[in-house]
Amino acid sequence: MTPDRAATLISLCGLALAAGVLAAPGPVAAQEEPEVTEAGLARGEMFYQAHCGRCHGMLGQGGEGPSLARPTLPRAPDHESLVEVIRGGIPGTGMPGTRSNLVSDLEVDLIAAYVRTLAEDVVTEVAGDAERGQEVFASTGDCYSCHVVDGRGTGIGPELTGIGLRRGVDYLYASLRTPGSELPVSRRGILRGFRGYLPVRAVTREGRVITGMRVNEDAFTIQLRSISGRAVSLRKEDLVELEKQFDHSLMPAVEEMTEADIDDLVAFLADLGDGS
């Protein structure tokens, strides 16, 4: 540890003790789980709601991100790894890091301590039957026609392997009941920051109608993947119409399914972990 960093830590701890949020006296090594007072947990909760709640749910029940109200977090089994995940995010996923000029080390410690307490509270119970859900997925739902799970299926939709680690139960219900309402955002390539799955309808000069998912786009061309999985590249000057359907999803609504089917599907999806 550089003298600078040590000085920062010591002054931080001084501040923390003065504010009555850390119970342990003296400097706290970054790796060790600091003992946090009730007041500290209350502040941790506040920081959590400000920085994490919109994705993980205000009660940690999950949403765009997975539930954190679980006895063990696979990617953050202890304090040190939890702090690392909060700081650095999980690269290549929808889990962002926090910049140190926005959130201090002390705040990260308090958030981590608060997250640990979530496990004691809500554990989202899933109503359905996961095994039956898998059958619905393969039969009535015909979900493998657009989604890959553990190497099975084809993919115009996002891969669902491990979806249970990435999304909360409410989000899963919403993506089935009102497709497109909860949309994954692309983190890669030129679509970075745009909606990840944008349905497009194009009409050529000859009157051919092509619908599919936008894969790539520049000023002169647009590349689509059709529902059947075929890749198509179109020159914009050949098109008479190019409609980007921002509020539309290619994922069909599950109208013909019963509530029980949906419960079972969600139970199946929520169970999809790292495959082990």
Give the interface with ligand HEC as residue ranges (CB under 6 A).
Answer: 51-52, 54-56, 64-66, 68, 73-76, 82, 85-86, 90, 93-96, 98, 111, 115, 137, 141-143, 145-147, 156-158, 163, 165-167, 172, 175-176, 179-180, 183-184, 197, 227, 249-252, 254, 265, 269
CB of 215 to ligand HEC, least distance (A): 12
CA atoms within 13 A on the CB side of 262: 17
The distance of closest approach from Cβ of residue 192 to ligand HEC in the complex, given in angstroms and rounded to an integer, is 14
Of 81 and 204, CB closest to ligand HEC: 81
Which of 13/200 has CB closer to ligand HEC? Answer: 200
Closer of 6 and 108 to ligand HEC (Cβ): 108
Full strand arrangement of the beta sheet holding 231-235: 231-235, 221-226, 209-217, 199-204, 239-244
DSSP output for 201-261: EEEETT--EEEEEEEEE-SSEEEEEETTS-EEEEEGGGEEEEEE-TT--SSPP-TTS-HHH
Based on CB atoms, which residue is closest to ligand HEC, 28 or 48? 48
Q: How far is the CB of 211 from ligand HEC (least distance, A)?
A: 11
Q: Are 231 and 215 in contact (CB under 8 A)?
A: yes
